[in-house]
Homo-oligomer: A and B are copies of this chain.
Amino acid sequence: MPTPRARGAAPAAAASRPVTMADVAARVGVSKMTVSRALSRTGGEGRRSAQLLRERILQTCREMGYVIDQTARTFSTQRSGFIAAVIPSLNNSNFSETAHGITAAVEGAGLQLLLGYSDYRVENEERLLRELLARRPEGVILTGGSHTPAACAMLRASGIPVVETWDLPAQPLGHTVGFSNAEATASLVRHLHAQGYRRIAFIGGTSNRDTRGADRRRGYTEAIRELGLSEGRVISFGQPPISMAQGAQALAQLLQQWPDVDAAVCVSDLSAFGALAECQRRGWAVPQRIAIAGFGDFEVGRNCHPRITTVAVDCEAIGRAAGELLLRAIDAVRIGAPLPPETVLVPFHIEPREST
List chain B residues, Cβ under 8 A from A62.
Answer: 150
Produce 1/0 per residue, A146-187, CB < 8 A to B: 000010011011110000000000000000000000000000
Q: Classify chain A's interface size.
A: 35 or more
Min CB–CB distance A328 → chain B (angstroms): 17
Q: Complex: how many Å from CA A134 to CA B93? A: 29
Contact A69 B159 (CB under 8 A): no
Given A14-B156, A91-B96, A157-B19: A299 touches B244 (CB 8 Å cut-off):
yes
Which residues of B have CB within 8 Å of A130? 67
How far does the alpha carbon of A136 sit from the alpha carbon of B73 in the complex, in Å?
12
**CB-nearest residue of chain B relative to A158?**
B18
Contact residues in B for A274 (Cβ distance below 8 Å): 303
Identity of the chain B residue whose Cβ is nearest the Cβ of A152 in the assembled complex: B12
* Cβ-closest 9 pairs across A and B: A65-B157, A70-B134, A91-B96, A90-B96, A244-B303, A14-B159, A280-B305, A277-B305, A91-B93
Q: Would you mind naming 24 contact pairs between A and B with Cβ atoms under 8 Å apart?
A: A12-B153, A14-B156, A14-B338, A15-B157, A16-B159, A18-B136, A18-B157, A18-B159, A64-B157, A65-B157, A68-B134, A70-B135, A71-B75, A90-B91, A91-B91, A112-B131, A115-B115, A245-B302, A245-B303, A273-B300, A273-B303, A280-B305, A300-B300, A304-B304
